[in-house]
Amino acid sequence: MFDSKLFDDIAKKLSDALPSGLQDAKKDLQKSFHSILQNAFSQLDLVTREEFDTQVAVLAKTREKVEALEKIVATMEITAPHKDSSSSEETPH
């Protein structure tokens, strides 16, 4: 779902932020950070930017189609002959 490089980058930034006294444990902590982040993100209901952009494009096309159909229906409502419901119930004399 997510690029592993993202987790590596974040884990590296976290480990780089450690005080110099903890630099010896840097690699171990970086691996731990990576694992914790990957687990946390996998539990979230997230989508990638690519998936999001795809859905935005689909929504835009759908919106265009709906607007076009609304114009067609509005035109049909204007041009269609209006029937009076009471005249259809009348019987001829």
Position 64 scores a pLDDT of 98
Position 1 scores a pLDDT of 53
Residue 2: domain span:
1-46
Domain identity same for 31 and 51: no
CB atoms within 10 A of CB 7: 19
Position 89 scores a pLDDT of 53
Residue 55's pLDDT band, with cuts at 50, 70 and 90, is very high
Asked whether residue 92 is assigned to any structural domain, the reply reads no
For residue 60, is pLDDT > 70?
yes
Which tens digits make up the pLDDT trace of 62-83?
A: 999 999 999 999 999 999 877 6
Domain identity same for 66 and 54: yes
| pTM for the whole structure | 0.47
Domain identity same for 34 and 54: no
Chain mean position to CA 68: 24
Q: Which residue in this structure is represented by tokens 């010896």?
A: 24
Contact 61, 47 (CB under 8 A): no
Number of domains in the chain: 2
Domain identity same for 9 and 41: yes
